[in-house]
Chains A and B, each alone.
Chain A
Amino acid sequence: MQPIPYSPIVTRPKLRWPNGARIALWLVPNIEHYEYLPRPNQAKDPWPRMPHPDVLGYSRADYGNRVGYWRMVEVIDRYNIPCTVSLNLAVYEHFPEIMQECEARSWEILCHGIYNSDYLWDLPEDEERAIIEDCIATTKRLTGRDLLGWFSPAGTWTVNTPDLVAEAGLKYFVDWGGADDQPFPVRVRNGSTLLCLPYQFDVNDGINFRFNMEGEAFARATIELFDQLYRESGESGRAMCIPLHPFILGQPHRAKHLDVILRHIVAHDGVWMATAGQIADWYTQNCLLAVEAHVAEIAAMSAALAAERLP
């Protein structure tokens, strides 16, 4: 497991998006299912409050698939934005009505494991590899399409995850998306490049819910982040992800705040509403080589400075 090669954003080659766009924006409903009786004795207890089941936690999440999803779709439809679904794949198996709605809108699948209560923590390498293979096969079986991207279920991972995702041939990886406001390449153990896409956890409604941040403050933070990235994107392009959860932002007191966010964003020129696969393709074809050269330059400069300091 190699650390991310260092690349300061201020000296990186300018990032250009198609048609002169300033920001590539990907909207990501996390469509999840938390099991009633999850696999016991995991490294972390999905329902730590009490012996399973936990109706408080389970039904709060289940609300998303019964009600919140439909309310969220109604808001997104007003703006006709293509989504990338961070999907627990079993949702499409349990709730084909949801799959039908997503497929009707041509929403792309970003794999988010099978269940959000089935974690990768501490899994042996072969078991983790089998899960990734299951996800690739399940996506193909359900949709006929290849799986493009990986985001480990519930933000749970192992030291092998980036290597296994790259070896499975996926196009992009989100687990390390907190590290930048532009896509960036990392090296994995088989020597190939894995492309990481920015995934700004700070404007993730699920995380902010746990931080006691309500809808209005969430909308303000998201808009402030967009405005800052938009300002900076005059120099060089930026990518922004807005992760959403139907069981959180799809609640009756919060749905209006998603509308406020989307209305603000679509009022700007130069926003490329894209799916993650489109962003990854564009970046790989148009930007990757220049950035890899930059990374090599920074590494050489760092080595030279280190050598200079030696007595």
Chain B
Amino acid sequence: MTVRRPGMDHGLYPYTPLSTRKAWTWANGKRIAVCIHLYFEYWELDPPRGALQDRSYDGYLGALHPNYFGYTAFEYGNRVGVFRILDLLDRYGLKATVAANAGACARYPFLVQEFKRRGFEFAAHGSFATRMISGNLSEAQERAAIAEAVRGVVEATGQRPKGWISQDFGESTRTPQLLAEAGLSYLVDWGNDDRPYFFSTEPPLLSIPNQMEWDDVQTMWHRKLPPPVYVDSACDAFHRLYEEGGSFATYFGLHLHPWLTGKGHRIRYLDRILAELAAPHGVWHATAGEICDSVPKGV
């Protein structure tokens, strides 16, 4: 039962309101760090019974079996959509941090090569789009799931992932601690801040904000916002955070799903956002690992 007393109702991090926080800036003097998170996922044609999927996809991407809508939509992302996004990132000279399902790494070595060739960073992102981590798992099962996801990235890419992004924000109460113990340095799940901060895990795990308010899936898919409204939201947020980043470093993450933003009628809207992000001085385009390395200890 939740105890009514000052502070958080869990022990994952202390309450540090903005008003009490000591300002810090990026070492390179930039106002804002920008990170592109590119999702690399595999939605199983026939997921194991009992695997948990985000119930937000029920309905059109239904809860009934087999889910050919979900399967083919994600397959589209990896066959067609991702190349439209890569073209744009190349044009703007941007590197992405790839949120990589181990299952996608195994199924699409072609795409792993495309990402490696561009110098992208790989973050571990569970095993499949159809298997979330949640409180349904025992501690041993969760440790095994984390280890399997990390191993899948290492085997496919030859790189040890520095960070973790949960599939559909799926965590148990134990997840940050287990990730820290598995040797991961950052976690991109929590949308409760505009700046990275540390979890109270041992060793300390860095929270890089997952700003779901302008995540493409949360806005254009789950909330059904029209693409121009999504663009306005993302750009308005970026400009506000850019302004605020003068005295206290800020962070802007752009989360892109090839199955959604890579569609022919949406790709032009990504072009508009990237043009805004690329324009001003004082923007640091970085991967999540580079950002993680640059956050001062103890913030």
Partner-B contacts on A (CB < 8 A): 1, 3-4, 6-11, 43-44, 121, 155-159, 175-181, 200-203, 207, 210-213, 217, 221-222, 224-225, 228-229, 232, 298, 301-302, 305-306, 309
Additional A-B contacts beyond A8-B110, A179-B76, A225-B264 (12; CB < 8 A): A3-B107, A155-B68, A156-B64, A159-B46, A178-B69, A179-B71, A181-B264, A202-B263, A203-B265, A210-B60, A217-B226, A224-B268
- In the assembled complex, B178 has its CB within 8 A of some CB on chain A: no
Q: Is the CB of A213 within 8 A of B224?
A: yes
- Output the nearest chain B residue to A240 by Cβ-Cβ distance: B264
- Given the contacts A7-B79, A213-B226, A302-B110, A155 and B69 also touching, CB distance less than 8 Å: yes
Return chain A residues, CB-CB under 8 Å to B60.
207, 210-211
CB distance from B87 to the nearest CB of A (A): 9
Which B residues, 250 to 271, have Cβ-Cβ distances below 8 Å to chain A? 263-265, 267-268
Contacts of A11 in B (CB 8 A): 110
Nearest first, the 8 closest Cβ-Cβ pairs linking A and B are: A228-B264, A178-B72, A225-B265, A179-B72, A305-B109, A224-B265, A179-B75, A225-B264
Which among A1, A44, A157, A207 has the highest number of chain B CB atoms within 10 Å? Answer: A157
Contact call A228/B268, Cβ cutoff below 8 A = yes
- Interface contact B45-A3, CB-CB below 8 Å: yes
* Contact indicator per residue, chain B 39-69, by CB within 8 Å of chain A (1) or not (0): 0000001100000000000011010111011
Q: Do most interface residues of chain B lie in helix, strand or loop, or is the interface mixed?
A: helix
Residue of A8, A43, A217 touching B64 (CB-CB under 8 A): A43
Asked whether, in the complex, the Cβ of B69 is within 8 Å of the Cβ of A306, the reply is: no
B156 at the interface (CB under 8 A from A): yes
**What CA separation (Å) do A222 and B112 show in the bound complex?**
32
Q: Is the CB of B79 within 8 A of A1?
A: no
A229→B265 CA distance, assembly (Å):
9
Interface residues on B, range: 35 or more
Pick 9 A–B contacts, CB within 8 A, sort by A: A8-B83, A9-B83, A155-B68, A180-B79, A213-B224, A213-B226, A221-B265, A306-B109, A309-B158
Confirm or deny: B80 has a beta carbon within 8 angstroms of a beta carbon on chain A: yes
Contact A178 B73 (CB under 8 A): yes
Asked whether A158 and B66 contact (CB < 8 A) given A8-B83, A203-B265, the answer is yes
The residue in chain B whose Cβ has the minimal distance to the Cβ of A304 is B109
**Residue-wise interface mask of B (106-123) relative to A, using a CB-CB cutoff of 8 A (1 in contact, 0 not):** 111111110000000000
Q: Which of B68-112 contact A (CB under 8 A)?
A: 68-69, 71-73, 75-76, 78-80, 83, 106-112
B202 at the interface (CB under 8 A from A): no
B79 CB contacts on chain A under 8 angstroms: 6-9, 179-180
Least distance between A253 CB and chain B CB atoms (Å): 18
In the complex where A155-B69, A221-B265, A229-B264 touch, is A309 in contact with B110 (Cβ < 8 A)? no
Interface residues of B in 7-48 (CB under 8 A from A): 45-46
- In the complex, what distance in Å separates the CA atom of A234 from the CA atom of B264? 15
Instruction: Please give, as numbers and ranges, the residues of chain A lying within 8 Å of B65 by CB-CB distance.
Output: 159
Nearest chain-A residue to B264 (Cβ)?
A: A228
Question: How far apart are the CA atoms of A276 and B156 in the complex, in Å?
Answer: 39
Q: Contact at A301–B111, with CB atoms within 8 Å?
A: no
Chain A nearest Cβ from B241, distance in angstroms: 29
Q: How far is the CB of B180 from chain A (nearest CB, A)?
A: 27
Cross-chain contact B69 with A201 (CB below 8 angstroms): yes
A10 and B83 within 8 A (CB): yes
Q: What are the residues of chain A within 8 A of B113 when measuring CB–CB?
A: 305
Residues of A within 8 Å of B75, CB to CB, are 3-4, 178-180
Min CB–CB distance A145 → chain B (angstroms): 27
Is A157 a contact of B155 with CB atoms below 8 Å? no
Q: Which of A121, A176, A200 has the largest count of B CB atoms less than 10 A from its CB?
A: A176
Q: Which residues of B contact A157 (CB under 8 A)?
A: 66, 68
State how many angstroms separate the Cβ of A255 from the closest Cβ of chain B: 21
* Residues of chain B within 8 A of A212, CB atoms compared: 224
